[in-house]
Amino acid sequence: MSVKQISIFLENKPGKMCEMTEVLASNKINMRALSLAETEGFGIVRIIVDDVYEATTVLKDAGYINKLTSVVIVELPDVPGGLNQILKVFAQAQINLDYMYALSSETSKKNAYMVFRVDDHRAAETALAKAGIRVVAQEEIASL
């Protein structure tokens, strides 16, 4: 039930992020989540989109190097300690967390959504299911 994240490599120069998002916008691709991490000389943009196939196609056609990665998206209560509840499940199951970021939702006012890159997404999904925590499927991204 993992979701596909697109990682895009960008030069670390003014306007490069604007150019990349213009490619997505002009092709009517909706970004649901975004994370930007920079390193010397380039950045890595990680996005969750409503149409993975179309996004990777238009990005490649525009000359962007991109890669798909499996991530786990979790619905959690938007209350103090909501994130900690998820992190406890990972810690108890010995699941290593590589990185995480938030996902926007137009439909939920009581819940938040977090994107997790973990060392074993299948083990993470199993541990979350045992704890009664809902994991978001790829098919749900456009409707969040």
Shared domain check, 48 and 22:
yes
Structure tokens at 75: 């619905």
Q: Tens digits of per-residue pLDDT, 45-81?
A: 999 999 999 999 999 999 999 999 999 999 998 899 9
Which of 69, 91, 115 lies at the terminal end of a domain, its last residue? 69
Q: How far apart are CA 38 and CA 60, in angstroms?
A: 21
State yes or no: pLDDT of 108 exceeds 70.
Answer: no
Shared domain check, 84 and 61:
no
Q: What is the residue range of 61's domain? A: 3-69
Domain count, the chain: 2
Question: Is 121 within 8 Å of 138 (Cβ atoms)?
Answer: no
Domain of residue 125, CATH code: 3.30.70.260
Q: How far apart are CA 132 and CA 16, in angstroms?
A: 41
Question: Is 7 within 8 Å of 66 (Cβ atoms)?
Answer: yes
Shared domain check, 118 and 83:
yes
Structure tokens at 121: 């997404």
Shared domain check, 129 and 139:
yes
State yes or no: pLDDT of 104 exceeds 90.
Answer: no
Q: Tens digits of per-residue pLDDT, 115-128?
A: 999 999 999 999 99
